Structure 1
Amino acid sequence: MIKFNNVKKTFRRTEVLKGLHLEIKKGDRIALVGSNGAGKTTMIRCLLGEYVCEGEVLVNGLDPRVERELVLKDIGFVPQLPPPLKMPVGQLFNFSASLCNSDPQEMIKVSERLGLDFEELKSRPFVKLSGGQKQKILISIALGRDAKILILDEPAANLDPDARHIFFQLLAEKKDAVMLISSHRLDEVAALVNRVIEMDQGIIVLDDRVEDEIDLNSILKTEIKIKRVDEAFAKAINLWSFESADGIQWHGTVSGPDRLRFLGVLSRYAAILKDIHMEEKSGG
């Protein structure tokens, strides 16, 4: 579906992409990882036809620079940084849907599943929304359409745990879509993908298949006991909507794909952890 043949891109004499060769096939759900400056975003911009580059980029056999309108009709894109759009949210949904012959009502449904009140937001300029609201709107536009390819650049960066779980469910429903999910941390996206591509200084240094048996709809019922009341721990765990009556025993739920991220948070408090129990249940 997607091919990069010896793709190079230079900015001010600095070669950012250094002869990229890559083929992405139907069914691929790819984690594109690497540090800042590795070339991930530049690669995505070339794929979207936003940059002129050396070599060849093809999406379903089409050059995204030459046939950009046709290519973008099949792509749902969530950028890392929200654009400074002054358009009201309702108008933005209608405009976005018109570009790809989609139903704006589907975008509205996705936004409401993510916890937004569309009626409250529809007249507000996009640029005036909070970071989390902007992210949810952009996700709604990308997932509320019949996109064959999803390109997501740090898509869950501004989402709270509850919204992240809904986001994972939405991705699970896109079973036939090719996904390219960019992140600087593998643990953020590991459970979502079946292939990992790592970039460093403009080249691909790793391209490997991974197991993808985690249910994106799963929920982990979690109980934690700590040795003593700790204010910093309480603040961190409250961000995951955990509750406690005494500050010692905590309980809540964690989305299955978020388990590595959650355990990474707990690892910071290893000295005061006494017991952790996680039981997986269906989130359907």
Structure 2
Amino acid sequence: MITIDRLTKRFEKRAVLDELTLSIAAGDRIALIGSNGAGKTTLFRCLLGHYGHEGRVGFDGTAGRRREPQALSRIAFVPQLPPPLRMPVGELLTFAEKGAGADPVAMRAIAGRLGIDLDEVRKRPFFRLSGGQKQKILVTVALGRPADLMIFDEPSANLDPAARAVFIDLLAERREASMLIASHRLEEVAGLVNRVIELDRGRVVLDDAVLDRLRAGEFRRAEITLAAPHAPFALALAGWGFDADPSGLRFTGPVPAAETFRFLGLIARYGSLIERMSLEEAPERVM
């Protein structure tokens, strides 16, 4: 579907993307991870044709420096920061309907599930909405239109917990679309993806095919030491089949390789409690 070959983007001579090479197949659902400044948003902007760049980005076998309108029409995008649009919400929805083929009935249903009444905000300028309202409108527009590829840059950052849960459900229902999701909420998107790609300094440092690992039955062995006993953490690890020593400080157990992403999302919630942690490939495979 998309082939990226030696993609390079510089800002003031600094390479934010450094000869990045990657292929995205139809049906791929990719969690894109990496620290701030790793190049995630810049990659998205290059795919969308917002930035000029070196290297090639090909859609279905065609490649060039500029995206073809036909290819861009197949991509839905939710940015990390909502644009400062001054148009009323109703005008934005009409534009999405006529310019991008969004279904007004679907948009109303999606917005309702996210907890926003389109009639209530229709006449209000988009830039005057709250951060959560803006994000819900952008998600509504993106999911209300047909798209072969959906790109989400920290899409749930401004959503309340109830809306985040609905958003994940909505993504799971879009089985026909490929997805690129950048998110710091690891535990939320783990169940949606079949690949995990990590960027660091503009290059791919991890490309983990989750389904391949699931089929292979690979496991990793984790050892975690806490600074002080913590009952909720012990209970969470017990659900993963971990053993605890008598002190309640040291835990060991297996982590299915296909579940590594979800496991790290769980661990991230308790990061301040962890004194030491290791996660290594297990010597054996479970068949």
TM-score range relative to shorter protein = 0.7 to 0.9
* 8 A contact 1:5–1:55 mirrored in 2: yes
Report the counterpart of residue 128 of structure 2 in structure 1: 128
- What per-residue deviation string (whole Å, max 9, x for no partner) do you get for residues 228-268 of structure 1? xxxxxxxxxxxxxxxxxxxxxxxxxxxxx999867754777
Take 2:188 and 2:14, find their aligned partners in 1: how far apart are those partners?
29
How high is the sequence identity, in percent, across the aligned residues? 52
Report the counterpart of residue 112 of structure 1 in structure 2: 112
Task: Identify the range of structure 1 (96-105 vs 41-50) with the bigger mean alpha-carbon deviation.
Answer: 96-105
**1:49 aligned residue:** 49
Deviation at 1:269, TM superposition (A): 8.8
Tell me the amino acid that sits aligned with residue 99 of structure 2.
Answer: L
Structure 1 residues 118, 54: closer, same or farther in 2, change over 3 A? same
2:166 and 2:185 mapped to 1: Cα distance?
Answer: 20
2:14: which partner in 1? 14
Q: Distance in 2 between matches of 1:66 and 1:267?
A: 43
Superposed, which structure 2 residues align to 1:243-282 within 5 Å?
Answer: 265=269
Quote the RMSD (CA, aligned, Å). 2.6
Q: Letter of the aligned partner of 2:157 in structure 1?
A: A
Provide the TM-score with structure 2 as the length reference.
0.73
Runs of 5+ unmatched residues, structure 2 = 215-229, 232-260, 275-287
| Alignment check: 8 A CA contact 1:7 1:57 kept | yes
The TM-score, its normalising length taken from structure 1, stands at 0.73
Whether contact under 8 Å (2:186, 2:265) holds in the other structure is no
Q: Which residue of 1 aligns with 2:25?
A: 25
Whole-angstrom distance in 2 between the partners of 1:10 and 1:171:
32
Q: Which amino acid aligns with 2:208?
A: D
Partner of 2:137: 137
Local SS of the residue matching 1:206: strand
| Unmatched runs of 5 consecutive residues or more in structure 1 | 214-225, 228-256, 271-284
**Is the CA contact (8 Å cut-off) linking 2:185 and 2:265 kept in structure 1?**
no
Amino acid at match of 2:197: I
- Following the alignment from structure 1 to structure 2, what is the Cα–Cα distance between the partners of residues 268 and 200? 24
SS of aligned partner of 1:158: coil
Moved more, 144-153 or 260-269: 260-269
Contact 1:34/1:185 (8 A) holds in 2: no
The CA deviation at 1:60 is 2.5
Q: Relative to 1, partners in 2 of residues 1:12 and 1:269: Cα closer, same or farther, differing over 3 Å?
A: closer
Show the 5 A alignment for 1:170-249.
Answer: 170-184=170-184, 186-211=186-211
Counterparts of 1:259 and 1:196, CA distance in 2: 13
CA distance in 2, matches of 1:64, 1:118: 39
Q: State whether residues 77 and 152 of structure 1, in contact with CA within 8 Å, keep that contact through their aligned partners in structure 2.
A: yes
Paired AA for residue 138 in structure 1: L
Q: Is 2:190–2:262's contact at 8 Å kept on the other side of the alignment?
A: no
State the shift of 1:209 in Å. 1.2
How far is 1:192 from its partner? Answer: 2.0
Deviations along 1:214-239, one digit per CA (max 9) or x if unpaired, are xxxxxxxxxxxx99xxxxxxxxxxxx
Aligned residues, how many? 229
Measured in 1, the distance between the counterparts of 2:270 and 2:162 equals 18
Residue 189 of structure 1 aligns to a residue whose secondary structure is helix
CA drift of 1:106 comes to 2.0
Q: Does the C-alpha gap of structure 1 residues 34 and 260 become closer, same or farther in structure 2, counting only changes over 3 Å?
A: closer
| Partner AA of 1:37 in structure 2 | G
Q: CA deviation at 1:6?
A: 0.9
Q: What's the CA shift for 1:99? A: 1.8
Give the secondary-structure state (helix, strand or coil) at the position aligned to 2:171.
helix
Deviations 1:58-115 (A, max 9, x none): 1233447544421221111000000000111111011022222332332222111111
